[in-house]
Structure 1
Amino acid sequence: MVAALAVIVNLALPAAAETEGLDRAFAELADPDYAGWARAQSDIERAWSRSGSAVMDLLLKRGQEALDAGDTGAAIEHLTALTDLAPAFPEGFASRATAYYMAGYYGPAVVDLRRALALEPRHWGALTTLGAILDDMGDAGPALAAYRASFALNPHQQDVKDAIDRLETARAGTAL
């Protein structure tokens, strides 16, 4: 048992997103007029999903599949195993935050989003989830700030643009 645990832990050691060298892709994605933005987004998301460990990547995949199936409990279990074994892998925290959010656990979701953003400040998905949580809680100002930060990184998110427009319209309607 100890030997098996040591193998799993050793496989987890390289688990940090493979995002080095993506500055160009982030710049391309941030340009609203760049025709190749979808490729840049895909390159970044693919890099975010690779921890450097096949075991950790499998835990992420299983967690995301459970999330897609609406099984937030299973998603949280898989993603907790991932974050425990790979504490330097931002996508594990961002994905678990989404699972917590979908389960209605806003506090743990915000904790995980802070960790994901500390590890990868350009994670527009984490910023969007943070905006949604703050928006749900009625905290419009910080929600708008989170959505705007996400949109600055990836201006090709129609749902984020819609949220920004909705919050700005509501804000303008209450100005004196």
Structure 2
Amino acid sequence: MSSFLILGYALAASIIAAPALHAADSAQVPAPSELTTPKQRLDTLFIELKRERDPDKAREISDRIRLEWQDSGSATVNLLMQWAAKAVESDHKPTALDIFDQVITLSPQYVEGWNQRATLHYQMGNYRKSMSDINRVLAIEPRHFGALAGMAAILTEAGKDELALRAWEQFLDIYPADRKAQEQLGVLEEKLAGNRT
């Protein structure tokens, strides 16, 4: 295994091992009229997501979170993201990568630029580059459940089941009602229990 992949897994392990952000868990949900910034709206949505046990209602909340993440606050960056999405749909992946590179250069703190590039790298089989971008996503937004799912998938494919299990646990700490994540966690728990006997 290359030293870069080992570094990627070490970074993944350190992010997974980082203490979860629970400060907002006990906070009161403010009235919608009080929510003026994207951060405030996201914090409120994450409180709701953590509390919601109905999978359909939780999915609606997660969709609202994704919409918040998609808006970069820049018309230029939003337009570039639309172009990149069209390039991906048209199977022009190198073009999409170039556009994502431009997005990240223009707005390095825009989490979805990193996340969408990570997803594209994953689809192209560039797991090392995908993991690197996922680590950037989680450095900007540790609650990014999509990035955690991507990380878990890469770690599972690499045979790093313990780390993948921790990624799914962290995912479910943020988004407890997600059935697919629950299933993935169960599969890994059974596999790891079988390996120990």
TM-score, normalising length from structure 1?
Answer: 0.82
Percent identity over paired residues: 30
TM-score, normalising length from structure 2?
Answer: 0.74
User: Is the Cα–Cα contact under 8 Å of residues 18 and 51 in structure 1 kept in the other structure?
Assistant: no
Task: Give CA-to-partner distance per residue, 1:53-74, whole Å, 9 cap, x none.
Answer: 0110122222234334544323
User: Is the Cα–Cα contact under 8 Å of residues 97 and 110 in structure 1 kept in the other structure?
Assistant: yes
Question: Which letter maps to 1:28?
Answer: E
1:33 maps to which of 46, 53, 78: 53
Question: Which letter maps to 1:129?
Answer: G
Q: Does 1:162 align with 2:183?
A: yes
Task: Give CA-to-partner distance per residue, 1:14-62, whole Å, 9 cap, x none.
Answer: xxx9333322210111124257433322221111000100110122222
How far, CA to CA, are the matches of 1:22 and 1:114 in structure 2? Answer: 20
Question: Which letter maps to 2:139?
Answer: A
Question: Which letter maps to 1:141?
Answer: E
Q: Does 1:133 align with 2:154?
A: yes
Do the aligned partners of residues 25 and 162 (structure 1) sit closer, same or farther apart at CA in structure 2, a change above 3 Å counting? same
Q: Does 1:73 align with 2:58?
A: no
RMSD over equivalenced CA pairs, Å: 2.0
Alignment size in residue pairs: 160
Which is bigger in relative contact order (C-alpha 8 A, separation at least 6)? 2
- C-alpha displacement at 1:145, in angstroms? 0.8
- Which position in structure 2 is the counterpart of 1:46? 67
Task: Give CA-to-partner distance per residue, 1:113-141, whole Å, 9 cap, x none.
Answer: 11111111110001110111111111111
Task: Give CA-to-partner distance per residue, 1:135-155, whole Å, 9 cap, x none.
Answer: 111111111111121122112
- C-alpha displacement at 1:85, in angstroms? 1.2
Do the aligned partners of residues 150 and 75 (structure 1) sit closer, same or farther apart at CA in structure 2, a change above 3 Å counting? farther
Three-state SS of the structure 1 residue aligned to 2:146 is helix
Question: Which letter maps to 1:137?
Answer: A
Report matched runs for 1:1-176 at 5 Å.
18-33=38-53, 36-176=57-197
Task: Give CA-to-partner distance per residue, 1:70-99, whole Å, 9 cap, x none.
Answer: 443232222111111110101110110010
How far, CA to CA, are the matches of 2:39 and 2:84 in structure 1? Answer: 21
Question: Which letter maps to 1:163?
Answer: Q
User: Is the Cα–Cα contact under 8 Å of residues 104 and 110 in structure 2 kept in the other structure?
Assistant: yes
Structure 2 unaligned blocks of 5 or more = 1-36
More moved, 61-70 vs 130-139? 61-70
Question: Which letter maps to 1:21?
Answer: R
Question: Which letter maps to 1:30?
Answer: K
